[in-house]
Amino acid sequence: MNAVDSFPLGAATTLAELADDPHARLALLRAGEPVSWVPELGGWLVTRRDLAMDVMRDAGTFTVDDPRFSTARVVGPSMLSLDGERHARHREPFAAPFRPREVRQGFEGFIERETDRLIGGFEDAGSVELSRVFAAPLAVSVMTEALGLAGTGTDTVLSWYDAIVRSVADITAGHAAGADGTAAYAELRAAVEATIADRDTGSLLASAAGKLTVPEVASNAAVLMFGGIETTEAMITNALLHLLRNPDQLALVRDDPALLDGAVEESLRLEPGAAVVDRYATRDTVLGAATIRRGDLVSVSLTGANRDPEVFPDPDRFDVRRDNSRLQLAFAIGPHYCLGAHLARLETRVALRRLLARLPGLRLDPDRPAAPSGLVFRKPLSLHLRWGGGAG
């Protein structure tokens, strides 16, 4: 019996379904085939939380260091696509500013000022498309500040980001990546090289260049920048969408601002910005009921793992008072745990707190519905909001 016959639920799973509204399909897979062969993915899909953790923690058996790894095909090898000593060598020069205390001390004031500046640009309008006017520009500003990337405007960085993320998503879906991603990365690399060459800047990029080659600094800057932008834009828009869709939960947060942390974690659990992480088997192995062969693609569904009912009762419900929401895996786990997780959380908390305080009567635009979508990166394509008087 071949893999298709052994895993009928996986055989019936389509990429379109996983990209559009995957939760019912992921629940079926998690219950019946928690490690399933999905022909449209060309690999295995892991949907149960314990098995997902096993894969992400065991870099010796399930590696990112493979020529097929999508991000590396766009920006080259980096901490995201290396394991073992090479991974540690690439990650360590960037780690210090992203630790919890350093994040609070180094970035909180900047994030608050930038958040207020951006809101000030539209608060009198009564309506806004939040993603491109606020969430993405905030994430760009914070990441360029964190890296010390000089001489780049928000619009330029967003154009790079769109092209690179689109290329990564195309590769993951089995399509050929267009030339836009390669061109965007070349421009980013040039900006990184210019920043490093400017000896008057005390940037993180210049500091990292003391331990890595310039191409290595550029590759890691790309994954940090675009991981930071994608993660944070998705966190802000998804969390606000969840709150505004659930007025009872929003009321709880307004009555007790300490519940804002729970709202952020619950949103991460229900819709992680990165829906899947890819690994490649380094040897023949058994995972759950599946026999995985060396070289096989093993995709971990963070979205599926985060709704595992064995860990999260009533898993499809948004509950800002859920007592174990921090067990969500939106930032992965193991050696590739997201370096910028603390910074992304801080940005999202500040953004939500300021938006709710400064935009009275904040609500979704009923004429422009929004829902998260995406095979790899999940967020609303746009998030149209209204506030102030009126019933619309």
Per residue in 4-57, pLDDT (tens digit) is 779 999 999 999 999 999 999 999 999 999 999 999 999 999 999 999 999 999
Domains identified in the chain and CATH numbers: 69-292+339-386 (1.10.630.10)
Residue 199's pLDDT band (boundaries 50, 70, 90)? low
pLDDT in tens, 82-93: 999 999 999 999
Say if residue 1's pLDDT is above 60. Answer: no
> Residues 287-315: what's their mean pLDDT?
98
pLDDT over threshold 80, residue 213:
yes
pLDDT band at 161 (very low <50, low <70, confident <90, very high): confident
Confidence category of residue 2, pLDDT binned at 50, 70, 90: low
Q: How far apart are the first and last CA of the chain?
A: 57
Beta strands in 252-339 (DSSP E): 276-281, 285-287, 290-292, 297-301
Helix, strand or coil, per DSSP, at residue 122: coil
Taking the C-alpha atoms of residue 242 and residue 317, their distance in angstroms, rounded to an integer, is 10
Count of C-beta atoms within a 10 Å radius of residue 1? 6
- If one counts every other C-beta atom within 10 angstroms of the C-beta of residue 137, the result is 21
Please state the pTM of the whole predicted model.
Answer: 0.93
Residue 290 pLDDT exceeds 70 = yes
Q: For residues 220-238, give the mean pLDDT.
A: 92
pLDDT above 70 (res 391)? no
Q: Which residue has the higher pLDDT, 198 or 306?
A: 306
DSSP string covering 135-191: IHHHHHHHHHHHHT--S--HHHHHHHHHHHHHHHHHHHTTPPPPHHHHHHHHHHHHH
Q: pLDDT at position 177, please? A: 76
Give me the pLDDT at residue 371, please: 96
Provide mean pLDDT across the span 314-323. 98
Question: Any idea of the CA torsion for 136, 139, 143, 144, to the nearest 10 degrees?
Answer: 50
The whole-number pLDDT of residue 166 equals: 84
